[in-house]
Structure 1
Amino acid sequence: MIGIQDVAKKAGVSIGTVSRVLNNNGYASANAREKVREAVRELNYQPNEMARNLLQKRTMNIAIIVPNLQNPYFSELVSECERSLRQYNYKTMLCETNGEKSNEQLYLDMLDRNMVDGILTCTHDLRQDRYVKAQGPIVSFDTIYVPGQIERVTVDHYKGGALAANELLRSGCKRVLQFRDHKTKAEFPFNKRHEEFERIMRENHAECVNVLIRWNEFDDGYFEELCQDCFQKYPEIDGVFGTDSFVLHYMKYVQTQGKKIPDDIRFVSFDGASFLNMIYPTVTCIKQPIRSLADVGVRTLMQKIQGEFVSESEIKLDVELIRGISSMTKEEYQEYQRKRL
């Protein structure tokens, strides 16, 4: 079995020089680096990753905590985080909490016990003080935020709420329904989206009916039951705003009840996960830059793990309106159909 001493002998340098080159730690001349790389190639030397990680006191594992993987946004975000982590040679340990605080606490305990090098979290079941007590690097997506300790990567929710409201108003909506989270004591960024949407609607003399959804509930049966209940309670609704999953369930149900989209009712969703590309009629959405969110979150976590200074405690990315059939005016939809003929 080829060892580091064989590489050193082949390259004509010391074992210490080989170690510095392989670990990219410490000085080695350009000539020595080239000799070591050439020897590694010729000998097909494979470094002992476990020994290296033990030496560096790293596991090369990152925990990603999500509330539920059935939700398209979270599943896509996890996939993008895994892709980004691979660029740093990190592997992923996935925790799906499903509303269980004990599951969330388990992964915080793993960080304290040095079983993972850091945590990316997308959930918010535990109190913030549980995260504050955690001993290690943590970066959150849209949830926990402790300046100087836990960085947060989010999007411009004010803009997202405004874009959605103005799009439904542009389409002529007068009585809209918004699926929103319960207000909490914690200052989560997504609450701003709901508040701005409602403010603009009322400012333009449009009725805004808020439907409060259960905390961290992602079951399809719950979505379907809630949509049916809302349809019976609010038959005159002509516009709907909510995350992708709620909007699609509502679109499906109203069509079974004889409603036509967009003639009778219009929709704008928030998140814009890639699976929307498979839906017809096409859905107008406020799209989050999921790939960029993952890249920024992972990069920030890597900086913390490596002991680098993180200049921004909260990093806010932009959102954009992607217009589909679901929010077209009658005139726009007629023109769309004419062009298809």
Structure 2
Amino acid sequence: MSGIKEVAKKAGVSVATVSRVINNRGYISKETRRKVETAMRDLDYRPNQIARALLKNQTFFVGIIVPDSNHPFFSELVKYVEISANELNYKVLVCNSLDDPKKEEEYISMLRENQVDGIIMCSHTLDTEKYKKLSLPIVSFDRVISRSIPCVGSDNFRGGELATEHLISKGCKRLLHISGPLELDMLSNRRGDAFILTCMKHDVEYHFIEGARNKLTFEYFMDFITRELSSIELSRYDGIFCSNDIVAYALYIYAKQQGLRVPEQLKIVGYDYHSFTRMLQEPKLTTIKQPTDRIGRMLLTTLVRMIEKGDDALINNTLVDVELIVGDTT
């Protein structure tokens, strides 16, 4: 079996250079990296992960806990976290809490028992004090937990502002916002804050419906829309901003069932622009795009910096820009 010395000899570089390529450390030119990787493939050389882990006192595994990886947004987010992890020679353990506090606690315990190097926390069913007490690096998605736990998310306030301004620019005078659950202080709640402030700024009539924490399936959202809107006169609104694209699509179907024409009588804006939205042919939703690729990369690289460089390398809370995507529903 070939070793690192044979790889170095075949690539025409030093053993230290091969080690830097394997561990992705220090500057390596593209040509040198290509030579080393070609030599490794030709010799079928596989770095000893166990030895690497013992040497650095790491497992090179990280965990990510999401509410539901079947939801298109979290499915994409996990994908980009994994892509970034692979580039840095880490592996990812994916856990679905299904918004169940007991499951989330059990997964945290399981990840700690398996000695992961850190956790990306996208499910937030527990009190913040429980996260603070964890003795390993954590990065949070969309929830500010404490000063010692970095948070990464999109600019939700700007997203809510863009959505509301767009509806008003299209002539809407009576707006409704269907938010997510508000019992936790999530960054996504800033969408609703922006909606209210923008409506007040333009002296536009508005109403607010709070979503419940439950399943993230289309069936649930369709039932939620039908249940919540059956008690109000939907035709009194001419513009609705939804907290996510699946809610927006469920609303579109419900509005058609009620005989309302979209966008002539009712304009709809969603939020996310994930794979579900991009696959829709009718309608093409108007929505706010969250860049899941940038968010996923930032979550993973922030966590790795904490793992490898310690507290001095903590990165401040990071907001990535959002974008209005205009479709057929406005």
Specify the TM-score bucket, using the shorter chain as the normaliser: 0.7 to 0.9
Partner of 2:30: none
Deviation per CA, 1:152-178: give whole Å up to 9, x if none. Answer: 011222211111111111112222221
The structure number with the bigger radius of gyration is: 1
Question: Secondary structure, in 3 states, of the residue corresponding to 1:326?
Answer: coil
In the aligned structure 1, how far is the partner of 2:101 from the partner of 2:182? 19
CA 1:133–1:323 in structure 2 vs 1: closer, same or farther (change >3 Å)?
Answer: same
Q: CA deviation at 1:318?
A: 0.9
Partner of 1:284: 286
Q: TM-score, normalised by structure 1?
A: 0.82
Question: Secondary structure, in 3 states, of the residue corresponding to 1:241?
Answer: strand
Amino acid at match of 1:178: H
Whether the 8 Å CA contact 1:95–1:103 is kept in 2: the answer is: no
Q: CA deviation at 1:258?
A: 2.0
In the aligned structure 2, how far is the partner of 1:16 from the partner of 1:225? 60
CA 1:22–1:86 in structure 2 vs 1: closer, same or farther (change >3 Å)?
Answer: closer
Partner of 1:200: 198
Whether the 8 Å CA contact 2:24–2:88 is kept in 1: the answer is: no
Amino acid at match of 1:132: K
Question: Secondary structure, in 3 states, of the residue corresponding to 2:313?
Answer: coil
Whether the 8 Å CA contact 1:269–1:286 is kept in 2: the answer is: yes
In the aligned structure 1, how far is the partner of 2:42 from the partner of 2:212? 60
Amino acid at match of 2:325: I
Amino acid at match of 1:278: M
CA 1:38–1:119 in structure 2 vs 1: closer, same or farther (change >3 Å)?
Answer: closer
Question: Secondary structure, in 3 states, of the residue corresponding to 2:253?
Answer: helix
Partner of 1:248: 249
Please give the residue correspondences for 1:160-199 in structure 2 after superposition, counting only pairs within 5 Å.
Answer: 160-184=159-183, 186-199=184-197
In the aligned structure 2, how far is the partner of 1:15 from the partner of 1:225? 61
For the pair 1:320 / 2:323, whether they are aligned, the reply is yes
Partner of 1:332: none
In the aligned structure 1, how far is the partner of 2:158 from the partner of 2:291? 14
Deviation per CA, 1:239-275: give whole Å up to 9, x if none. Answer: 1111111111010121122221101100011112133
Give aligned pairs, total. 319
Whether the 8 Å CA contact 1:68–1:98 is kept in 2: the answer is: yes
Please give the residue correspondences for 1:79-158 in structure 2 after superposition, counting only pairs within 5 Å.
Answer: 79-113=79-113, 115-147=115-147, 149-158=148-157
Q: CA deviation at 1:37?
A: 8.8
Partner of 1:223: 221
Deviation per CA, 1:289-320: give whole Å up to 9, x if none. Answer: 11111111111111111115435320111111
Whether the 8 Å CA contact 2:302–2:314 is kept in 1: the answer is: no
Whether the 8 Å CA contact 1:181–1:191 is kept in 2: the answer is: yes
Amino acid at match of 1:205: D
In the aligned structure 2, how far is the partner of 1:129 from the partner of 1:262? 46
- Larger deviation: 131-140 or 40-49? 40-49
Amino acid at match of 1:281: P
Deviation per CA, 1:186-240: give whole Å up to 9, x if none. Answer: 5321222101101221333322221111124324333122212343323222211
Partner of 1:275: 276
Partner of 1:264: 265
Whether the 8 Å CA contact 1:128–1:144 is kept in 2: the answer is: no
CA 1:207–1:7 in structure 2 vs 1: closer, same or farther (change >3 Å)?
Answer: closer
CA 1:163–1:312 in structure 2 vs 1: closer, same or farther (change >3 Å)?
Answer: same
Q: TM-score, normalised by structure 2?
A: 0.84
Amino acid at match of 1:189: L
Deviation per CA, 1:24-65: give whole Å up to 9, x if none. Answer: 789xxxxxx9x9999867754333222322332222222111
Whether the 8 Å CA contact 1:155–1:316 is kept in 2: the answer is: yes
Amino acid at match of 1:53: A
Query: Structure 2 regions of 5+ residues with no counterpart?
Result: 27-32
In the aligned structure 2, how far is the partner of 1:62 from the partner of 1:167? 40
Indicate the RMSD between aligned Cα atoms, in angstroms. Answer: 3.2
Q: CA deviation at 1:20?
A: 8.0
Whether the 8 Å CA contact 2:154–2:320 is kept in 1: the answer is: yes
CA 1:172–1:229 in structure 2 vs 1: closer, same or farther (change >3 Å)?
Answer: farther
Question: Secondary structure, in 3 states, of the residue corresponding to 2:179?
Answer: strand
Question: Secondary structure, in 3 states, of the residue corresponding to 2:162?
Answer: helix
In the aligned structure 1, how far is the partner of 2:83 from the partner of 2:323? 23
Deviation per CA, 1:99-124: give whole Å up to 9, x if none. Answer: 21122122322443352111111111
